[in-house]
Amino acid sequence: MAAGLGVTIGSADSVAATAFDRADTYRPVVLSRASELHLPPDDAPHLGHRPAAPGALVFTDFVSRVGDPVGVLADNGASYSGADLTATAIGCLVHEASLDLPEAPAITVAHPATWAGYTVDALREALSRAGLADVTLMPEPIAAVRWLEATRGPLGDGVVVVYDLGARTLDVSVVRTGAEPVLLGRPIASEDVCGGHLDHLVTTHLLDTVRDDVPDFDPFAAPMTAALAELRTRSRAAKEQLSTDTETVVAIDLPGVRRDVRLVRDEFEELARGPLQASTALVHEALRGAGVEPSDVGRVLLTGGGGAIPLVAELLSAELGVAVVAGPHPAHTAALGAAQPRAGTAVAAPVDDDVPTTVLPVTTARPTEAISPVRPAVVPAPAPAAAAAAAPFRSRRYVLAGAAAAALVLLGAGGLAVGTLGTSDASEAGVGAATSATVPGATPASAGGPATTATTGSGTSSAVPATTPGTRAAATAATPGAPGTVAPAGSVPAGTTAPGAAPGAPAPGAVAPGTVAPGTVAPVPTTTPPPAPAPAPAPAPAPAPAPNYGSQVGDALGGAGEGAGAVVGGAGNAVGGVVEGVGGAVGGVVDGVGGLLGN
């Protein structure tokens, strides 16, 4: 014996139904729960309407958030994925519905046909995380047609329109029947016609009957808001009752008024006729999208809670001129169809349409093979950006400022080199190794700190970003001694020796050759061939004396003063020439005017 379990998660209600391949021995069982998910702090998740436990998180209308990258925000500030919440609700239904089954069922979940592929994939991944990796996903119209085949026998090749009037939307789909039902075209969905809209019409009608008895009607007052929410719930129950009864009584309990109002089916149909008549246009739109003529439709299948309204069948039958089929509980049709044996297995003989709705007993002893619902995981908040990321931007600003200052000095001095302080003959001839200038006394750049700025031989500056241990720093090449080179104060260009230092001693403040600066990774060596070896090895270097920073700074200031003086002198000569030229021009004009007046 094979058991099947079909599940649908709706905006208002969720349904789980069972089916067996031997209908003469086992009857289908249907379990319906409100789509209200409770996550107690110290208990298993629960699906259904009940008073909230202390500290419990309650979620509603989470099915519409499946596939949404933005999580559902809880009252405690935590964020939950809509797909994970839906998977948890499915797990609650599966666990409760499979308690009394003789064997583990084959689970099929029916989803709205209007869902995109990524939405279906999001639910499939969430089900896998919840321990339901073997669940089959199926569009709701296909599941509904499978129920029709199980109850009415093989349908053969034909076309069925599935009219699903739910609590939040109306979905219209066109299905081709045969060996395997197939969706034709794209299903049409509308939020303008739905069960919630009909509930609102009934609520407004009931309020009109007692409006004169409530002179100070304030819908935003706390007592009135709670009373209106209760009245809307009663209006929904009255709408559903009028699907089978011709009249009902609704108790209106508002602040200052208490009255029982009688509502008959004719009044309700008068309210609902306009929206339901307009919904027939959606049926024709779905047929055009599927490339099907209305005359090719064999029948209309009503599903969803609104499918039980007699006016719906009347209007569709008059519009299309075909038979309209509905189960005893259209809201259960898709779940019952999803529970049918899968393709390749024998389908049970048609069963009576009047499938009883049975509430499964709650038991404390749970079998070990039963699937327990899994609490959804909290969606982690995005990680804050690292604070060190701002270091390159600060370094870039320093580099730009230094480059601008150097460019102004070079342009003002007429391109003269003002940074040749302390260069040797070899550097003046343009001979030198590629190296980076280091300011004596400066500390190595650390994570989040400003980077060291080095000046290249072309007169432009390049930054060495601050590095952290384990990162690779790019080496900066400079050709000291080239025209326009600016050397930082206190630095010793490559190929020269610090004043008073023995030959071969490292420059003050510089990293000795063959060593790696702390906090950096040695760069990849280049393929430049090494220079020719010296004829004789250099003598052992003597201890380098302390660098004379005062002398070096003085030399740098003197060179800068000479450069500035050249700038000022050049500017003065230029201004003087301009003044003399202007004076001569004015004198010429005056002489010419005087000559004309004299004549």
| 249 in the same domain as 200 | yes
Q: Does 371 reside within a domain? A: no
Token pair in block for residue 404: 């601008």
Rg (CA), the chain: 43
Burial 119-147 (b: 16+ CB within 10 A, else e): bbebbbebbebbebeebeebbbbbbbbbb
Distance from C-alpha of 262 to C-alpha of 352, rounded to nearest angstrom = 34
In terms of domains, do 151 and 254 share one?
no
**pLDDT tier for residue 25 given thresholds of 50, 70 and 90:** low
Whether the predicted model's global pTM rises above the 0.85 cut: no
Q: Within 13 A of 384's CA, how many CA atoms are on the CB side?
A: 4
User: Given a cut of 60, is residue 391 above it in pLDDT?
Assistant: no
Residue 542 lies inside a defined structural domain of this protein: no
Same domain, yes or no: 264 and 291: no
pLDDT tens digits along 27-51: 778 999 999 999 999 999 999 999 9
Q: Highest-confidence range of 197-201, 366-370, 371-375, 556-560, by mean pLDDT?
A: 197-201
- Domain for residue 433, yes or no? no
What does the pLDDT read at residue 218?
A: 82
48: left (phi over 0), alpha (psi -120 to 50) or beta: left
Looking at 272, 299, 328, which one is the last position of a domain?
Answer: 272
- Residue 352 is encoded by which pair of tokens? 């009576």
Choice between 163 and 405, residue whose per-residue pLDDT is larger: 163
> Could you tell me if 238 and 95 lie in one domain?
no
Question: pLDDT digit string (tens) for 400-412?
Answer: 444 444 444 444 4
Instruction: Tell me: do 58 and 116 sit in the same domain.
Output: yes
Q: What CATH number corresponds to the domain at position 150? A: 3.30.420.40
- Answer whether residue 59 is part of any domain: yes
In angstroms, what CA-CA distances link 273 with 151, 243, 481, 511? 30, 14, 93, 89
Say if CB 163 and CB 275 are below 8 A apart: no
Residue 369, domain member (yes or no): no
Count how many residues are written for the chain: 599
- Whether residue 142 lies inside any domain: the answer is yes
Asked whether residue 172 falls in the same domain as residue 224, the answer is: no
Condensed to tens digits (0 to 9), the pLDDT of residues 471-497 reads: 333 333 333 343 344 334 444 444 444
**Residue 106: per-residue pLDDT:** 93
Q: Are residues 54 and 182 both part of a single domain? A: yes
CATH number at residue 267: 3.90.640.10
Residue 349 lies inside a defined structural domain of this protein: no
Q: Distance (Å, rounded) from C-alpha 85 to C-alpha 56?
A: 14
- Please say which residue of 322, 339, 356 terminates a domain: 339
Q: Which residues contact 188 (CB under 8 A, 6 or more apart)?
A: 171, 172, 173, 282, 285, 286, 289
Shared domain for 79 and 182, answered yes or no, is yes
**Averaged over 422-427, what is the pLDDT?**
38
Tokens 């003269």 map to which residue?
A: 416
Is the distance from CB of 312 to CB of 165 less than 8 angstroms?
Answer: yes
**Residues 6 or more apart whose Cβ sits within 8 Å of residue 557:** none
Residues 147 and 280 reside in one and the same domain: yes
Domain count, the chain: 2
pLDDT at position 216 is 76
Q: Across the chain, what does the average pLDDT equal?
A: 71
Q: Examine the domain organization and report whether 73 and 151 are in the same domain.
A: yes
Instruction: State mean pLDDT over 300-307.
Output: 96
Among candidate residues 243, 272, 301, the one where a domain is terminated: 272
Q: Decide if pLDDT at 573 tops 70.
A: no
Is 125 found in the same domain as 70? yes
Q: Predicted confidence band at 427 (pLDDT cuts at 50, 70, 90)?
A: very low
Same-domain check for residues 139 and 20: yes
Residue ranges making up the domain that contains 299: 3-193+273-339
